């Protein structure tokens, strides 16, 4: 499963985030109309399918001028995806922050101008969230 997710993450990284049609195909979803606020253009979708797995709470945020950072965020359905950081070469673990009781552990991977953050559940054994930040 993780290999399929890695392949689809690579496809997302290779896709310009302003190519809505291609993103919608990769996410198995239809992003809503853009909303602009505080210098950001945001599009959302309630559900989708990524790497053959149901996902929800899909959000794409890009700078309005198109010159800054863009972020794609999605959550995996209940239970998440079993994950061991060794499955993703170059991934760096980050523990929950002790000063923030609601924080979660995550793994971070850098590929070119993209940063991939793999959010973990409380047991730190399941991938529950994925974000891709392009600079």
Look at residues 34, 33, 63, 30 and name the one whose alpha carbon lies nearest to residue 45: 30
For residue 65, pLDDT over 90 is answered with no
In this predicted structure, what is the pLDDT of residue 98? 86
How many domains does the chain divide into? 1
pTM: 0.93
Give the model's confidence band at 66: pLDDT under 50 very low, under 70 low, under 90 confident, else very high.
Answer: confident
**Rounded CA separation 46/51 (Å):** 17
| Residue 65, both tokens | 């001028």
**Rounded CA separation 59/50 (Å):** 13
Residue ranges making up the domain that contains 44: 2-95+104-134
In this predicted structure, what is the pLDDT of residue 67? 82
Angle formed by the axes of helices 20-27 and 2-14, to 10°?
A: 170
Mean pLDDT of the chain: 93
């Amino acid at each position: 499963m993780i290999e399929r997710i890695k392949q689809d993450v690579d496809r997302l990284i290779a896709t310009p985030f302003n190519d809505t049609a291609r993103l919608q195909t990769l996410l198995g979803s239809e992003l809503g109309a853009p909303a602009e606020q505080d210098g950001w253009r945001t599009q959302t979708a309630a559900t989708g399918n990524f790497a053959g797995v149901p996902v929800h709470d899909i959000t794409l945020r890009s700078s309005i001028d198109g010159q800054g950072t863009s972020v794609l965020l999605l959550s995996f359905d209940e239970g998440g995806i079993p994950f061991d950081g060794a499955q993703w070469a170059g991934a760096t673990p980050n523990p929950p922050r002790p000063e923030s009781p609601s924080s979660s552990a995550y793994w971070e991977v850098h590929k070119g101008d993209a940063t991939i953050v793999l959010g973990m559940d409380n047991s730190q054994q399941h991938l529950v969230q994925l974000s891709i930040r392009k600079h």
